[in-house]
Amino acid sequence: MERLTAIWKQCTASILALFCFLFPNLTAQRILRSSVLPPASEDAAGTDRIHFLRTGTSDAILLESDGHFAMVDAGEDSDNPRNFDWLSFGGHENEVLAYLKANAADRDGKVHLDFVLGTHAHSDHIGGFDTLILDPDVTVGRAYLKEYDSAKVNTYELEQWDNQEVYDQMVAALNERNVPIVSHPDAEPFSFGHFTVTLFNTDDPENPERVGENDNSLGVLLEKNGTRIFLAGDMDNYTGDEDRLAPAIGKVHLLKPGHHCLAGSSTENFIKTLLPDACVIMNDKEIVNSKTLAGIVKICRHKNVYLTGNENGVLAVIGDNGDISCYGQIFKDYYGTNLNG
């Protein structure tokens, strides 16, 4: 009987793999529809949690461990320092700040972040940080922010985007609040609550060509008693970063794929090497690249793939030895009602 069961499982896996190969987009959407998360409630209690906020096509991630808090990126902001029409975005800085005060404040309403980390100088990652840092109820212990070097960045971004301006705004806010800046982070692990944190892509490989700022994006590995989580920032593979870093990162249990599941990121080799048990994509279903999403679902097969837009934010409760429980419906407006729709 056990042998027949094993044969049946193998046949089922083979059929699913063939279906994924023939109909990747249909498979991706089917799995996304069938893997809706239960809403966060008392069941989502835990001392070690990662809050993936719903901020459109941008990243804002609150880390929580043993009563300590930190932020990795802070979402898109409403500023348009160059006054370009194509940079007029609906920002999320006030929503992120409200979430922070509702979920990380002490009894006096004060929020202390052990650290903030900006993965790279794009407004959809660090744009909201100046609002958070300058709020009188928020204090920050230190900031990890690589120096922005415009000499390495391609002409298109220099002329059309506001990398320099959002970087300068974050640095100015940190300086105003006397927050130490680690501008040359290294790969030496450090402790945060129950987690060990290791940064990746701290050294930029020699490249004679100018690149997009995504090539400079930091990745964040969190480890706790056998459980491994990787937050890929906006890492992509246009200049081979995913191929270069994947072997050093290794197998993870939870992955936040790079660059919002858009083209050029989350390549087959990268996903196969990390082989996550679950993925949380910081984006809306309508915006992701269908081929990139289908590739993630194909490799992960029956594993769980979630979009923050679909789930209205995702809360991951982190246990030991790969034990991770995920919940949805975490993002609320100022009045405490779910931000659905």
3-state secondary structure of 125: helix
**Which burial class, exposed, middle or buried, applies to 1 when counting CB atoms under 10 A from its CB (0-12, 13-18, 19+)?**
exposed
DSSP state of 107: T
Taking residues 206-219, report their average pLDDT.
90
Task: Give the C-alpha separation, 35 to 28, whole Å.
Answer: 11
Taking residues 309-330, report their average pLDDT.
94
Radius of gyration of the chain (CA): 20
Residue 132 has pLDDT above 90, yes or no: yes
Higher pLDDT, 206 or 150: 150
What's the pLDDT band for 29 if we cut at 50, 70, 90? low
User: What's the chain's average pLDDT?
Assistant: 87
Question: Which residue, 52, 220, 69, 70, is CA-closest to 61?
Answer: 52
List CB contacts of 240: < 8 A, sequence separation 6 or more: none
The beta strands (E) that lie in 108-147 are given as: 111-118, 138-145
DSSP state of 36: P
List CB contacts of 137: < 8 A, sequence separation 6 or more: 101, 105, 109, 110, 111
The full set of domain ranges for the chain reads 2-328
2-328 is classed in which CATH architecture? 4-Layer Sandwich (3.60)
Tell me the helices (H) and strands (E) count for the chain, helix number first: 11, 15
Residue pair 252/230 in contact (Cβ under 8 Å)? The answer is yes
Taking residues 77-106, report their average pLDDT.
90
The pLDDT tens digits of the residues spanning 42-83 come to 667 778 999 999 999 999 999 999 999 999 999 999 988 888
Angle at 49 between CA 48 and CA 55, to 5 degrees: 160
Residue pair 114/192 in contact (Cβ under 8 Å)? The answer is yes
Residue pair 334/47 in contact (Cβ under 8 Å)? The answer is no
Task: Give the C-alpha separation, 280 to 215, whole Å.
Answer: 21
Residue pair 319/292 in contact (Cβ under 8 Å)? The answer is no
* Two tokens, residue 326: 């995920």
- Classify strands 227-231 and 254-256 as parallel, antiparallel or unpaired: parallel
Residue 93 has pLDDT above 60, yes or no: yes
Question: Which residue, 116, 179, 176, 112, is CA-closest to 144?
Answer: 116
Question: Which residue, 48, 46, 100, is CA-closest to 73?
Answer: 100
The pLDDT tens digits of the residues spanning 252-303 come to 999 999 999 999 999 999 999 999 999 999 999 889 999 999 999 988 875 6
Q: What is the 3-state secondary structure (H, E, C) of 233-265?
A: CCCCCCCCHHHHHHHHHCCCCEEECHHHHCCCC
DSSP state of 162: -
Residue pair 276/252 in contact (Cβ under 8 Å)? The answer is yes
Could you give the percent of the chain with pLDDT greater than 70?
A: 86
Residue pair 228/255 in contact (Cβ under 8 Å)? The answer is no
pLDDT of res. 38: 85
To which residue do tokens 């006030």 refer?
94
CA 187 remoteness from chain centre? 19
22-31, 76-85, 128-137, 209-218: the lowest-pLDDT one: 22-31
pLDDT of res. 76: 94
Q: Which amino acid is at 194?
A: H
3-state secondary structure of 283: coil
